[in-house]
Chain A
Amino acid sequence: MRISKAGLLVVLALLAPLLVELRTVLSWVNVELTVLETAVVGAALVVVILVWAFLPENGDGKTAEGDASSEN
């Protein structure tokens, strides 16, 4: 795992305010999402984050963050 389980939990939690505010921000550029569309976007982001988190670390230089958190 590239991130600690607790770190992952917090990252997912931080998605909540981002998603909630996203609708308001997008409405400024005349993109109006319905609740369902927002939920779909949210689910997609969750999947992306989970895939990223569970991808095996292969030491290609992008894993510095994962290393630091692994001690938790």
Chain B
Amino acid sequence: MNVHTYEKVWLIGAMVLIVGFIVTITYGSVGLGIAMVDDSEETIEPSELDEDERFADPRVEQVGENEYEAYVVAQTFIFQPDPIEVPSGSEVTFYVTSPDVIHSFSIVGTNVNTMVIPGEVATMTVEFDEAGEYGVVCNEYCGSGHHTMEGELHVVPDEEFDMTELSVEADDEVETGDEATIEVEVENRMLEALETAVTLEIGDETLEEDVTIDGGETETTTFTIDSADLGEGDHDWTVTVDDYEDSGTLTVTDELEEDDDE
């Protein structure tokens, strides 16, 4: 078989190009550590995500000093959680699955991009160096509302990031003279301890208590208020812990009147 000299040169050039591509891609995988989405995760029953310890409550968890795990559910036509919040300078591993059809989880303008297949859990580990806000889109057709499927990822500056959760249980109504209680539960989902103050404002009063909450723990602060000091009527209250706030109204009623009514 006779092959023209130019054609031989071309052929050799083509082979060099091809081998060169394979070498650079291998270098990307091995040298730079760009891992592919793979089969490292166990399969999952798509119809039973509600009972799964990771996906029943889609959330971000801290697993190391600067390491976080995000459990994300992509379903028609939303992402949960939304927005996803992680601190800057962190390494985040996303675990993404779907209870219904095939979706994708793609952070716009980055190379964070994976298919989300029901029954499979996609994982990707990503480093977020700088703070910023990104859009999240589904880029696989998933049904008639596909174009509305979007979410957000907020990379919060490291020093502003926390995983504090505030919940308040307060009396709605007390009789004059009785004590009203406002119970404030503060959960610190970070690993390191949180030093902060719980502040209650009610009427003209401001009560404050310093708390230290160990990593992964919940502290309860109970404020007791003498309703006589407030007087009869509606009193708005606000509980503040760092940037979190909860508020409500306490009604102080006249004991005697109520008795008369009955």
**Direct A–B contact in complex, judged by CB atoms less than 8 Å apart:** no
A residues with a Cβ closer than 8 A to B are none
B residues with a Cβ closer than 8 A to A are none
